[in-house]
Structure 1
């Protein structure tokens, strides 16, 4: 079920006894083969359009567990909405931070499937959730009802720019960064609502949070705002600008699910020195928040190239903010020399990481013609501007 084929009427049917039965039949028939499942559902007398919607919902619910946990079994989804939805762990932490700041009511502009609205409601915050797409608005309305949050969330299908945001303690805005048939939108001026409206929200409601793409330009941070970059299991998932009294740092890297946080100015420069015995690959949230220098301080490390975010040290340190590898060899890049070294070491399984290198790991792996049984890790990078290979113990 996606926005191209579902209607609010069909969504309503899925909530009737007939639809509930269709979902139950589709769940029982879901064994990985969509053709077999479709045949099984139709054989139980479920009408074709409803059967297709139920089967798609079952598929999306299965995929949504990674983001929504047990709630996914009761929720409704669109494909695009699920892809863009905030992970529950991120939404819950944001809601807790808003509640701790004393927020009691919030306008959620561009609420999507409702992940942030539902987390805020569960944290005791009343949410006015606005979504401009009629189908998505119908889906989030169904989700709010399914999770029993009707008394804490009011959903409207409306243009976010028409909302009287001043009536709320806080504003949360998640502008659409995709367009039908065009994929991701990278230019903030093409966001919906437009960037001029989004950027002006903190002047209207000081306690404003903007959820944005991780690649957002730091220069777009409103004056005095905190820029936070969030990763989940090493995957960089979003940036958030915390405005007005909500800001408590210049830059913050937040790593989940362990809730490790690193803060700093985002302007510091790490010291530069030689390659050490260990190399740390910082979490992408650390890199994107420009906190590599602060991270280097936590492990007593330095850079070997001022423009490359690998941190080196001679003694190991435990850290949640990066992956540590022990270096066995440092050599200038030479395919022939590298192939000989790996053959002599019996390496047949090779993890390849890179930063500051134009080489393609998959092509390089083929060119190396690996044939041994040992495993190793390799980093393609630059040291003092020169292309360099770091061979490391496998971890």
Structure 2
């Protein structure tokens, strides 16, 4: 889709066509397109409307009912911040006393929408003309939000930075070029391939009193700038981003994790993990409870906070599993009861599963390179009960833990 076709799509005829479409059904899309063309609609307009219908259906998971009034690109939707995660971004600006935010590299406008919804004045900019036009449609309900087609590097920020002005950056993490079959371009995880560049992001942070930048969850701990706060966030158990905050927005400098579950968000800070000992896990001491830290906590390197919370020990460095005899409620960790534990040996494991009449086996693994499907076949399961096992390492040795969910 080009800007001219987008202008037609957002006109009376095009917008009316989109709003009249039924819920998207991949199996019926071709027939629906043929009927619309037979009814006299232009083929390009029909194709664009059906593409938006498909993207809106996908976007419901990120934007809920609001997706029905928004426009998208395939890349823009994938990189867009879901509403449950964007809202805390906006709240941080607002609660830090910021009143106006420049959103540089706004994409389809997901974070700009959250900023505007929080009552902040928004100046959003994107270097791609089509994307900027789409963002303008997605922000049209807020009079205090404006979108321009301009490169982030050329946007004129206030010459003397007032304390109530902030900047939000979401550098493009895709490489321009040939798209794949889904229409999406190749993703990059390298800081030196961001657009605008990482150097530009840091230069803004040096001159503006309140800056936040959304980066990949793979952002390295060693790259966290001094005095900033790096915040890894998960939603539904998946780590979706790392945001680096500077200045007024770096509430607790260092690393932290935010775990978003439904309407609630739980924060874990580097200070929470201070002084935690992760030594001492032994196979013969694993009866009790096993806690699995949320992936954002693991990615932020803060499993020590879980160790302190349950007064336990980590099974192995970086694994995110902590064992403890204590039964503790931790909203950002899963809890299991440890039924049994043994060195990983196929013959012994098969005997244990046979003795417990296990016919359905859930295999969790971390820190071991074992093919779960192959192992399941080797166990020759034949019982009528279920079991969950964890394949991991303790003291450098491969072990298997038999688990049950703990209330």
Report the TM-score when normalising by structure 1: 0.92
* 1:175 aligns to 2:167 (yes or no): no
Residue 3 of structure 1 aligns with which residue?
A: none
What are the equivalent positions in structure 2 for 1:383-394 lying under 5 Å apart? 383-394=394-405
1:346 matches 2:357: yes
Q: 1:199 to 1:345 in 2, by over 3 A?
A: same
In the other structure, the counterpart of 2:374 is 363
Residue equivalent to 2:279:
272
Structure 2 residue aligned with 1:216:
219
C-alpha distance in 2 between matches for 1:123 and 1:29: 31
- CA RMSD, aligned part only? 1.9
User: How far apart, CA to CA, are the structure 2 residues paired with 1:152 and 1:231?
Assistant: 30
Match for residue 260 of structure 1? 266
Partners of 1:306 and 1:30 in 2: how far apart?
47
Aligned to 1:70: 65
Please tell me whether the aligned partners of residues 358 and 385 of structure 2 are also in contact (alpha carbons under 8 angstroms): yes
Cα drift, residue 190 of structure 1? 0.9
CA distance in 2, matches of 1:107, 1:81: 19
Partners of 1:45 and 1:296 lie apart in 2 by 66
Q: Per the alignment, do residues 216 and 15 of structure 1 end up closer, same or farther by CA in structure 2, a change over 3 Å counting?
A: same
Query: 1 CA distance for matches of 2:320 and 2:19?
Result: 50
Counting only pairs closer than 5 Å after superposition, residues 1-395 of structure 1 correspond to structure 2 as: 6-27=1-22, 30=25, 32-145=27-140, 148-149=141-142, 151-166=143-158, 169-179=165-175, 180-181=177-178, 183-249=186-252, 250-256=254-260, 257=262, 258-265=264-271, 268-273=275-280, 274=282, 275-394=286-405
Where in structure 1 are there 5+ consecutive unaligned residues?
1-5
> Is contact 1:137-1:157 (8 Å) kept?
yes
Cα distance in 2, alignment partners of residues 189 and 328 from structure 1:
48
Distance 2:295 2:24 in 1: 40
How far apart, CA to CA, are the structure 2 residues paired with 1:89 and 1:198?
24
Aligned pair count reads 387
Report the secondary structure of 1:330's partner residue. strand
Encode CA deviations 1:61-103: one digit per residue, 9 max, x unaligned. Answer: 1111111112101000111111110010111111011101011
Deviations 1:330-373 (A, max 9, x none): 11111222223223222222222222111132332333333332
Q: Residue 165 of structure 1 aligns to a residue in which SS? A: coil
Structure 2: distance between partners of 1:173 and 1:245: 15
**1:380 touches 1:387 (CA, 8 Å); kept in 2?**
yes
SS of aligned partner of 1:33: helix
Distance in 1 between the 2:5 and 2:293 partners?
47
How many Å apart are 1:10 and its aligned residue?
1.2
Inter-partner Cα distance in structure 2 for 1:21 and 1:244 = 46
User: Structure 2: how far apart are the matches of 1:328 and 1:28?
Assistant: 47
Q: Is the 8 Å Cα contact of residues 279 and 311 (structure 1) preserved in structure 2?
A: yes
Q: Distance in 2 between matches of 1:379 and 1:29?
A: 40
State the secondary structure of the residue aligned to 2:205: helix
Aligned to 2:181: none
- Deviation at 1:312? 0.5
Cα distance in 1 for partners of 2:196, 2:274 equals 30
| Structure 1 pair 31–221 and aligned structure 2 pair: CA distance change class (3 A) | closer
**Offset of 1:36 from its aligned partner?**
2.9
Q: Which runs of 5+ in 2 are unaligned?
A: 179-184
Which of 32-41 and 227-236 deviates more?
A: 32-41
Contact 2:292 2:320 in 1 (8 A): yes
